[in-house]
Amino acid sequence: MAIYDYEQTGRDGEMEKSELSAACQELEQKAAALEDALRAAEEANQAKSRFLSNMSHDIRTPVNAIVGLTTIGLSHIDEKARVQDCLRKIQTASAHLMSLVNDVLDMSRIDSGRMVLSQEEFSLADLIHDIAVIVRPQAVQKGQDLRLDIRGIDQERLVGDPLRLRQILVNIINNAVKYTQEAGRITVSFRQDPVRTSPQGERTALLRFACQDNGMGMSPEFLERIFLPFERVHTSQVSRIEGTGLGMSIVKNLVDGMGGQITVESREGEGSCFRVELPLPVSAQRHSPLALPAGQTVLVAEILDDLAGQASDCLREEGLVPVRITSGLEAVTWLTEAQVEDRMPCALLLGQNLTDMQSLDVAAHVRQLAGPDFPIVLVSEEDWAQLEYRASRAGVSAFVPCPLFKSRLLATLSGLLDGGRGAAEARGDRAGLETASLPLLVGLILVVLLRYVSRFILRQRAQEFALYLLMGMERRHLAWMFFLEFFLLGCLCLAGGIVLGAGMGCCLLSRSPERGPLLPAIGSAAAETAGYFLAVQLVSLVSTAQLIRRLEIRELTAERASDRSWNLRPGRAW
């Protein structure tokens, strides 16, 4: 019995020890968790303190600039140039201040869970073009080589939040521009995986974005906390660069909210590479296919292999045949031979870079050679607002901005080719109108002259007929003479009417969209015009006969009164 009690007591002691050990381990874990939470809270407080310190300095700088420039502008209000300079600087400072405030507000919304992502249809081509317009001037100012590489984008109409997507991409590219030295290199690429269809029928495309630079890079220690709020590298180089340390934290939260992922690779002193993958639904809207002349040749003038290859791939997919050249002289020579051999291409894609001359000079030569209808499309990274005047004078038909998208390129070509056919038809109509205007003008002049000549002749002949009548000539002779001359004049007027009617008929046919038979319209117009002039001559005949009748009555009255004959002297005027 005693042995049993001893064994039971030993087992109870072991159980108590194990329970105590488990409780101790649990307490240690909780203590470690509390220590980690305390450490994180202290780090967060320190980060917020650093943020407030940096933010106060960052906010004070543009505010002081705005106040000081406003004072300078007011004190020199009569100097227009100086006031305009102050206003431009105030605009820059206020834009920077607004960006700081927006970062703080965005982070506040994310922390409180009030960040809502919209779902709306947008164009990926328009989005990337807007991003290029925003970031390119900063890269140009620092002399950096910023390249945008777009490949395999089949679905451009997507559904998502374009404002937040633009914010993600602009923040990453802006960081690359800011933390890359002058004359550095930045490459931004966009790719798209094939569309996947879910069991519910939803079509989704995975957008892949990468931004690689050869800037100052980041240390492995900082890479672990790069996505934490208010974190920045504390070096002498970075301290001179404006920033709040919120950009990458906002980007991380937005990417997570869109169901994507972001990764970063960097080596200090060598550069960094950010990669973002975002699944975006494809728009259900279908667009009608473009009408392009399959099998036709398109001349591509560009020395950059990437841009020329991308444009050629887009053309081949639509059944067109691209022919690449690299110089302006080669382009002019090729088009000259093609014009002689009657194998002109349907369009010319003119790149920004050629080996021997400027693109606009090539456009001017090609326009002079190929005529006003030949489509010349300028593909360039420059701002169209700055190029439009010179490009239009050089003969450029349309402009497609880089980065190059298939939809924009093909839509521009389709519009130019359809418009070229319409312009050719319009010029044919104008040529027909000009051709018809010559006989119309001749007919009008002839009819007017014949009208006045006939009236003058009829008046003179009427006086002579009255004279002959008074001299005793038989009336039937006078009638035959009168009708013979009337017939000749009527034939002349009829000829003029036919010419006039032909011109009118050609004009009507050239303007009519439904070109009917030529002869009926001309015959109808000529018959109406000739009938009009015959009616006018008939009226002249009646008036002349009445004049002869009045003269005859006057002569008989004079004979009865004087009972003597007329004695006409030569040269007497009637």
Q: What was the pLDDT predicted at 459?
A: 58
Q: What was the pLDDT predicted at 229?
A: 76
The structure tokens 């870079």 sit at 353
Which residue numbers in the chain have pLDDT < 50? Answer: 1-4, 422-437, 470-471, 473, 508-525, 563-574
Q: What was the pLDDT predicted at 103?
A: 73
Q: Please, are residues 146 and 139 in contact by the beta-carbon 8 Å criterion?
A: yes
Q: What was the pLDDT predicted at 163?
A: 87
Q: What was the pLDDT predicted at 420?
A: 52
Q: What was the pLDDT predicted at 155?
A: 87
Instruction: Convert the pLDDT of each residue in 517-571 to its tens digit.
Output: 444 444 444 555 555 555 555 555 555 555 555 555 555 555 555 544 444 444 4
What distance, in Å, lies between the first and last C-alpha atoms of the chain?
Answer: 178
Q: What was the pLDDT predicted at 272?
A: 94
Q: What was the pLDDT predicted at 85?
A: 86
Residues 359 and 327: their CA atoms lie apart, in Å, by: 9
Instruction: Convert the pLDDT of each residue in 417-475 to its tens digit.
Output: 875 554 444 444 444 444 444 555 555 565 556 555 655 655 555 555 555 554 454 55
- Alpha helices, DSSP H only, in 142-217? 162-178
Q: What was the pLDDT predicted at 323?
A: 93
Residues 255 and 263: their CA atoms lie apart, in Å, by: 11
Residues 562 and 564: their CA atoms lie apart, in Å, by: 5
Whole-model pTM: value is 0.60
Q: What was the pLDDT predicted at 497?
A: 57
The structure tokens 């998502």 sit at 160
Residues 38 and 146: their CA atoms lie apart, in Å, by: 44
Residues 168 and 131: their CA atoms lie apart, in Å, by: 10
Q: Where are the beta strands (DSSP E) in 152-289?
A: 157-160, 185-192, 196-197, 203-213, 261-267, 271-281
